[in-house]
Chain A
Amino acid sequence: MSAVKSTKVLIAMDGSDPSLYAFDWYMDNIHKPDNSIIIAHVPDYKSLVKSPIISSDPALIAALMKEEEAEVDKIISKIKEKVNVVGVKCRMLRLSGDPGHAIVKASETEKVDCIVTGTRGLGTVRRTLLGSVSDYIIHHSHVPVLVCGHK
């Protein structure tokens, strides 16, 4: 009989409703008290900056970057709030770069046993059932991936 092991889980969260749903679903249906959770957040600047402004004005660029950071902080607070409400201890990783790539790389570096992701996130075109980040994770992860469909 195989012994039951404690599992290291990485939950990819971008602050979107599908990612919050994935977190809740994981806690309700999969989480075990011995499991350790890492929340990976990759700010996706492409989906935050709505207006493509090309400018060489340093003041404007600085202002835009500040706005972006404020948006990222908002999302991180949202995620932290969710975690606090649920009351589970998590480690939060803020990563950079291409979201899919960063998440898979982090899962390898942190030697996690499983990745949890929603089906879509912030930036996805509503036409597709599976967002590009989730799609990337599924195709490149070397560990099991839980894909939580959000109705």
Chain B
Amino acid sequence: MAHPSTVLIAVDPSENSDYCVHWYLERIHREGNKVIFIHVPEYWGDMARMMSPTRLEELWKESQYKAQQLKETYTKLATDAGLSSVEFIIEEGQEPWSIIVKASKDKKVDMIVMGSRGMGTIRRTLLGSVSDSVLHHSHIPVMVVHKPKH
């Protein structure tokens, strides 16, 4: 009954994502699984009114740079782990959760894997807002990866 799946792994520059990807590769990945990484860069549109255009451009460039770094890092990590089918999507948008859920449908994914928290999350909560929203809107199974405290 075991068959290969298409897995969508949502990542950001956080340590949580790093742990999540390693955990997936070590514990969950099965040979033949197709892995698609998705990264939604930080959205700066709301800040546009409050900042100078120069500063805005700086921040935007930084996000783009980080996105490319993530793409290189994770593509290499997955390929080194022996995966033959790896894709990395960078998609901009205001609401990361909806971009992730839409991608999961467009790419006909079988499962979404993501960290429980990302970059922007207040440390008080055990579940970040993006993970929470994806969980509530996904029609397919979601693996929420909590990073151990130690």
Contacts and interface: CB of A to CB of B under 8 A. Distances in A.
A114 B23 CA distance: 11
Contact of B3 (A1, A28, A138, A149): A28
Interface in B70-111: 80-82, 110-111
Interface stretch (A29-37, A41-49, A60-68, A94-102): A29-37
Interface in B129-150: 135-136, 138-146, 148-149
A63 to B, nearest CB: 41
Interface of B: 1-3, 5, 22-23, 25-30, 80-82, 110-111, 126-127, 135-136, 138-146, 148-149
B1 A27 contact: yes
Contacts, number: 76
Nearest to B27: A7
B81 A32 contact: no
B140 A144 contact: no
A16 interface: no
Contacts of A147: 135, 141-144
B60 to A, nearest CB: 33
Interface of A: 1-5, 7, 25, 27-32, 86, 113-114, 129-130, 138-149, 151
13 contacts: A7-B27, A27-B1, A29-B2, A29-B110, A32-B30, A86-B1, A130-B135, A140-B126, A145-B144, A146-B143, A147-B143, A147-B144, A149-B140
B111 A2 contact: no
Contact of B145 (A25, A32, A144): A144
Chain B interface, >50% SS class: loop
A29 B6 CA distance: 10
Contact of A2 (B5, B25, B126, B143): B25
A124 to B, nearest CB: 14
B126 A139 contact: yes
A113 B28 CA distance: 11
Q: Which 5 residue pairs of A and B lie closest in terms of their CB atoms, listed nearest first?
A: A144-B145, A148-B141, A7-B27, A146-B143, A2-B26
A77 B2 CA distance: 25
Contacts of B127: 138-139
A37 to B, nearest CB: 14
Contacts of B30: 29-30, 32
B136 A130 contact: yes
Given A138-B135, A138-B144, A149-B139, A5 B27 contact: yes
B141 A144 contact: no
B132 to A, nearest CB: 8
